[in-house]
Chain A
Amino acid sequence: MNLFNILDTIEKADPEVYERIDSRRALFKNMAGFGSKVAMAALPLAVGTVFNKAYAGTRGKADTVVDILNYALTLEYLESSFYDDGLDSAVIPTNRRSIFTQISKHETAHVNFLKAVIGQLNGTPVDEPEFDFTAGGSYPTVFTDYNTFLALSQAFEDTGVRAYKGRAGELLGNRTVLTAALQIHSVEARHASMVRRLRNEKGWITGATGSPTAIYAGEDNKTQAGVDITSLGYSANASTEAFDEPLSKDQVIEIVTPFIVQ
Chain B
Amino acid sequence: MKQKSSGVIPRAGEKSGILSPISRGKFLQYAGFSVAATGLVLVGCSDDDDGPGTVDLGSGDIGILNYAYLLEQLEAAFYENATANPYTDMSAAEKTVLEDIREHERAHRDFFKKALGTSAIAQATFDFSSIDFKSRASVLGAAKTFEDLGVSAYNGAGQLLKDANYLLAAGKIVSVEARHAAAIRDMLNAYSADFAGDDVVTASNGLDQAKDPSTVLAAAKPYVKTTVVITNLPS
Residues of A within 8 A of B (CB): 3, 37, 95-96, 98-99, 101-103, 105-110, 112-113, 161, 165, 168-169, 172, 175-176, 178-180, 182-194, 197, 202-204, 224-227, 229, 232-235, 238-239, 241-246
Leading 10 A-B pairs by shortest Cβ distance: A109-B206, A189-B178, A102-B193, A106-B206, A193-B182, A193-B179, A238-B103, A189-B175, A175-B159, A183-B207
Query: Complex formed: what's the CA distance from A180 to B206 in Å?
Result: 10
Partner of A187 from B108, B193, B196 at Cβ < 8 Å? B196
**Beta-carbon contacts of B141-166 to A below 8 Å, as 1s and 0s?**
00000000001001110110110111
B206→A99 contact, CB < 8 A: no
Partner of A197 from B156, B165, B183, B203 at Cβ < 8 Å? B183
Query: Complex formed: what's the CA distance from A187 to B181 in Å?
Result: 10
Jot down 6 A-B pairs with beta carbons below 8 A, ordered by A: A168-B158, A186-B177, A189-B179, A190-B195, A232-B114, A244-B179
Query: Complex formed: what's the CA distance from A172 to B166 in Å?
Result: 11
Contacts of A172 in B (CB 8 A): 161-162, 164, 167
Partner of B100 from A175, A224, A238, A243 at Cβ < 8 Å? A238
A182→B179 contact, CB < 8 A: no
When C-beta atoms are compared, the residue in chain A nearest to B174 turns out to be A186
A203→B107 contact, CB < 8 A: no
How far, in Å, is A45 (CB) from chain B's closest CB? 27
Interface of B (DSSP majority class): helix
Contacts of A189 in B (CB 8 A): 174-176, 178-179, 182
Contacts of A106 in B (CB 8 A): 196, 201, 206
Q: Interface size (B, Cβ < 8 Å)?
A: 54
Query: Complex formed: what's the CA distance from A238 to B106 in Å?
Result: 10
Partner of B110 from A175, A185, A232, A241 at Cβ < 8 Å? A232
Assuming the contacts A168-B167, A202-B100, asked whether A161 and B175 have C-beta atoms less than 8 A apart, the reply is: yes
Partner of A101 from B111, B154, B158, B193 at Cβ < 8 Å? B193
Contacts of A110 in B (CB 8 A): 205-206
B2 at the interface (CB under 8 A from A): no
How far, in Å, is A78 (CB) from chain B's closest CB? 15
B91 at the interface (CB under 8 A from A): no
A242→B205 contact, CB < 8 A: no
B201→A99 contact, CB < 8 A: no
How far, in Å, is A106 (CB) from chain B's closest CB? 4
Contacts of A233 in B (CB 8 A): 110
B168→A190 contact, CB < 8 A: no
Partner of A182 from B100, B107, B174, B181 at Cβ < 8 Å? B174
B172→A245 contact, CB < 8 A: yes
B51 at the interface (CB under 8 A from A): no
**Beta-carbon contacts of B174-209 to A below 8 Å, as 1s and 0s?**
111111111100100001110111000101111111
How far, in Å, is A200 (CB) from chain B's closest CB? 10
Query: Complex formed: what's the CA distance from A188 to B205 in Å?
Result: 13
Contacts of B167 in A (CB 8 A): 168-169, 172
Assuming the contacts A102-B193, A193-B195, asked whether A242 and B201 have C-beta atoms less than 8 A apart, the reply is: no
Query: Complex formed: what's the CA distance from A180 to B209 in Å?
Result: 10
Query: Complex formed: what's the CA distance from A165 to B174 in Å?
Result: 10
Contacts of A96 in B (CB 8 A): 191
